[in-house]
Amino acid sequence: MFEIILQLIINGLLLGGIYALLSIGLTMIFGVLEVVNFAHGEFLMISMYMTFWLFHLFGLDPYVSLVIIIPVFFGFGMLVERAIIKPLLNDPPLNQIFTTIGLGLVFQNLALLLFKADFRAIKTSYSNANLFLGELIVNVPRLIAFVIAIALIVALLLFLKKTFTGKAIRALAQQRQASMLMGINVNKTYSIAFGIGIACVGAAGAILMPLFFVFPTVGSMFVLIAFVVVILGGYNSLGGSLVAGLMIGVIEGFSGFFISPHLKEVVYFIMFIFILIFRPTGLFGRR
């Protein structure tokens, strides 16, 4: 019994790392621009497809393709911010919500058009490789995904803490008016923050691909998890997203095992609604 629990914890944590990376992008976007990116899942889907095709057309290992995907998605994010998000920043919530939903719809169905509804997967030489720690099995792709996710998150947190641009982003999230008076170029900083958020999603997609399938609506599955993580962690706390991501990974594993694999989502959705109602600032959120 004990081994089972430990195994569940390990699997949960490993997956949770990816959830954390996915969600941190969402938290950044919401914390700095105060926009909820309903199309977040579709960016993940695009990244997974890109990883898939890079692998199939050029034989590029998914973890290696990170080198391409991260900058590409950063640029992609900045572009979307300039073109679509920026005009929305002062609009009523209805406009913001439906614009990003519309964007998600467009992406999702373009994918459907181009790639059809087939499930696609990647098979690498180490797809089924496992490490053995005593009785415990650690799946290699999961482990690599976890390590990369944590590394990227730590890098991001360091960036925000130590660099001027990072501090500007944090400042903007805390006090918009004063940021303008510091000589911070607010528009540019918004673009960068959004770009970083999307880059995180891109990275999450790349490391997720070896573990899962891609199909046009895969984004919808994961985006809801991301929202739960963001709210649980605290919608303006990046550290909170990290912790919450790991927690949700573990909770999901336990629910899947002890209750039912089909109902594991129900557990965290119900948590989600409860948190929104009773403690909207989550575990680590402020205000």
Partner 1 sequence: MLSLSNVSSHYGDLQALRDVTLEVDSNQIVSIVGSNGAGKTTLINTISGVLPSSGGTITFQGKRVEKEPPHRIVNDGLVQVPEGRLLFPYMTVLENLELGAYGERARNELSRSLEAVFGYFPKLEDRRKQLAGTLSGGEQQMLAIGRGLMAKPQLLMLDEPSLGLSPLIVKEVFETIKKIREEGITILLIEQNVLQSLMISDRGYVLENGSVVLEGAGTDLLTDPRVKEAYLGI
Partner 2 sequence: MTSFLSSIFDFVDQNKRVVTLAALIGILIIPLIPRNSFYQDLIIMIFFWGTLAAAWNLLGGFAGQISLGHAAFFGIGAYTSTILYLNFGLSPWIGMFAGAGVSIVVALIVGLPCFRLTSHFFALATIAFAEVLRLLASFWRDLTNGGVGLLIPHEPGFKNFIFEGKLAYTYIILIMLLAIIFVTYLLKKSRFGYYMVALREDQDAAESLGVNITLYKMITLIISVFFTSIAGTFYAQYYAFIDPDIVFASHLSIQLALLSIIGGVGTIFGPILGACFLTPLDVFLRGWLGGVLSGLNFVVYGLVLIIAVRYFPIGIFGWLKKITGKYIKKPTYALSTAGGGETGPIGERSYRPPDEDTVPLIRVDSIGKRFGGLEAVKDLSFSVYDGEILGLIGPNGAGKTTVFNLISGFIATDTGSIRFDGKDITSLKLPHTFCKEGIGRTFQIVKPFQSMTVLENIMVGVFNRVGDVKEARKEALRIIERIHLSRQVSMEASHLTLANRKRLELGRALATRPKLLLLDEVMAGLNPKETEDIIQVIKSISREGMTILMIEHVMKAVMALSDRITVINNGMKIVEGLPEEVAKDKRVIDAYLGEEYNAELK
List interacting residues with partner 2 (CB under 8 A): 36, 84, 87-88, 91, 93-99, 101-113, 216, 220, 224, 227-228, 231, 260, 262-263, 265-266, 269-270, 272-273, 276-277, 280
Q: In three state form, how does the secondary structure of 59-110 look? A: CCCHHHHHHHHHHHHHHHHHHHHHHHHHHHCCCCHHHHHHHHHHHHHHHHHH
Distance in Å, CB of 36 to partner 2, minimum: 4
How far separated are the first and last CA of the chain, in Å rounded? 42
Q: Which does 164 bind (CB under 5 to 8 A by kind): partner 2, partner 1, none?
A: partner 1
Distance (Å, rounded) from C-alpha 23 to C-alpha 25?
5
Among residues 171, 221, 224, 283, which is the contact residue for partner 1, using CB under 8 A?
171
Q: Which does 284 bind (CB under 5 to 8 A by kind): partner 1, partner 2, none?
A: none
168 binds partner 1 (CB under 8 A): yes
Q: Which does 180 bind (CB under 5 to 8 A by kind): partner 1, partner 2, none?
A: partner 1
Distance in Å, CB of 58 to partner 2, minimum: 26
How far out from the chain centre does Cα 21 lie?
5
Distance in Å, CB of 36 to partner 1, minimum: 22
**Segment contacting partner 1 (CB under 8 A): 73-81, 141-149, 181-189, 267-275?**
181-189
Distance in Å, CB of 228 to partner 2, minimum: 8
Neighbouring CB atoms inside 10 A of 71's CB total: 13
Residue with tokens 């594993």: 253
Closest to partner 1 by CB, 24 or 148 = 24
Closest to partner 2 by CB, 157 or 221 = 221
Distance (Å, rounded) from C-alpha 116 to C-alpha 218?
13
90 binds partner 1 (CB under 8 A): no
Q: How far is CA 75 from CA 35, 50, 96, 222, 225, in A?
A: 19, 15, 21, 22, 25
Neighbouring CB atoms inside 10 A of 133's CB total: 10
Which chain residues interact with partner 1 by CB under 8 A?
A: 164, 167-168, 170-171, 174-175, 177-178, 180-186, 286
